[in-house]
Amino acid sequence: MDAAAQLFAERGYHAAGVSLIASRVQITGGGIYRHFRSKEEILEVILRQVVDRATAMATAAGSTEGSPQERLRKLVGQTVQHAVDRPAHVATHFRERQVPSVPRHEHDLTTGEDALAEQWRSLVLQATPRLGAEQADLRYHAVEGVVGTLAALGHRNPRPVSDVLAQSLMALLTAPPAPRPPRGNAAAARVRTWQPPTSRENDILAVALGLFRQRGFSGVLMEEIAGGLGMGTSSLYQYYTGKSDILADAYDRVISRLMVGVETQLDAAESAEDALDRLVRSYVRLTAENIDLVVVTTHEFQAMPELERPRVTRRRRYLRESWAAVLRELRPELTAEEAKLLATCALPLISHVLLQADDPRGAIDELTYCTLTFLLDNTPRQRGAAWSAEAESGT
C-alpha cells in the first residue's frame, strides 16, 4: 500500500501499473494478488484509510472541551501533521479527489467523505457563526487544497510547516464573511453575450483536457479524444502527433497566461498590498475560466515530455517566487522558505475550491478574499467595502 500510494501520488492511478508497484516492494506482479484482488482495491483501501483517520480526528476535536476556536485549532493542527506524517497517502487522496481515475463504487467511502465534510462544516460554523453553509464549505475545500499540496510536496520536517500553515488556515477559517459588493454595480451587472469563434486546436484541447481531468492522462486514448470531437482518429493526428503534444500545448497556454498575468498585475500595482490583491484575483479569475486546463497541468507534470519539463519548471518557479517576494514585503517576519511554502499552497488551494464549486465564477470574490486571508494571516478588513468595490470592477 505504501508503494502504491507513492506511485499514485507521483504518476496517477493509470500510470502506476501492478508490475511497477510490485517492483517497488521486490515481489512479482502476481504476488500482489495474494494481498489484493485488484489495483482498484488497493486505491480504495488507501482512500478509506485516509478518510477514516481524518474522521477520527474530526470526531475527537468536536468532542473535546474548549471553545469552538480551540477545537478547530486542534483539528487543523492534527490535519496538517497527518499530511506531514503520511504524505503519499494524503497526496493520493487529494489527487483522486481532483482527478478521479476510477468510478467511486465504494458507497461507504463516499458516505464517509460526505460525513467528514459535514463535521468540518459544523466546527467552522461554530467557530465563525456569521458564515453561511456555502462559505463554510468553501473554506473546508481550501483546507483540503492546502493539506493535499503539503502532502504532495513530501515535507518531512514539521517545522516551520505545521506552525505557519496551521496559523494561516485558522485565519482563513475564522475570518468573517467577505464584504459584499455594492448593489447596482455596473461591472457586476454586465453580461457577455458574444463568444469569439474557436479554432480546431482549441476544440481538441477542450475535449482532451476534460477527459484528462476526469480519468487522468494515462487513462485516455487518442481514439476517445477523436470520438468526443466527432472526427476520425486519423484526422486528429493531422493536428497532434500524440497525447503528449496535446499536454505540452496545454502547458504552454496556461504558463503563458500566468506569466502575462503576473507581469501585468505587478506593473499596474501601486503598493505591495495592491500587488498581492491583483495577483490573487487575476489567478482566481484565470482558474475559474480555465478550470480543466489548470487542474490537468497541475497534476500531469510527469506525463510531459522530459525535454519540456525544465522550461515549465522555470516558469512555475517564477510564478511562485513572484508571489513570495510580494508576500515577504508585507510579512517581513516570514523566512524565504515560509513565504514560498504559503505561495505554493495558495495556488492549488484556489484550483481545488473552484473544482468543487457549482458556479466557479460566482465564487471569485469569496475565494479571493479567503486566499488573501490565508496568505496574510489576517482578515483584510481594513479594505472593507472599498476592497469589494475595487475587486468587483476588476481593478
**C-alpha cell read off for 268:** 499596474
Tell me if residue 394 falls in helix, strand or coil.
coil
Q: Which among 55, 45, 51, 63 is positioned nearest to 5, based on CA atoms? A: 45
Q: How many CA atoms lie within 13 A of 241 on its CB side?
A: 3
What element of type H or E holds 178? none
C-alpha cell at 4: 502504491
HSE-up of residue 140 (Cα within 13 Å, Cβ side): 28
Three-state SS at 17: coil
CA distance 381 to 189: 25
pLDDT, residue 392, reads 43
Closest CA to 104 of 66, 47, 153, 64: 47
List domains and CATH numbers for the chain: 45-174 (1.10.357.10), 198-393 (1.10.357.10)
Q: Residue 273 CB: number of other CB atoms within 10 A?
A: 18
Distance in angstroms (rounded) separating the CA atoms of residues 250 and 236:
16
Residue 71, C-beta contacts closer than 8 angstroms, at least 6 positions apart: 61, 62, 64, 123, 126, 127
Residue 394's pLDDT is what?
A: 41
d(C-alpha 375, C-alpha 330), whole Å? 10
**Backbone phi, psi, residue 196, to 5°:** -65, 150
Please give the average pLDDT of every successive group of 10 residues along the chain, which has 395 residues: 92 87 91 91 92 95 91 94 92 79 63 92 95 94 93 68 86 89 50 72 89 83 93 92 88 82 90 94 89 79 77 83 94 91 92 87 91 81 38 41
Q: Three cell numbers at 334?
A: 516570514
What distance in Å separates the CA atoms of residue 132 and residue 87, rounded to the nearest whole number? 32
Cα separation, 364 vs 308, whole angstroms: 32
Rounded CA gap, 293 and 208, in Å? 10
H or E element: which one contains 180? none
pLDDT value of position 178: 84
The model carries a pTM of: 0.81
Which residues, at least 6 apart from 305, have a Cβ–Cβ distance to it below 8 Å? 244, 248
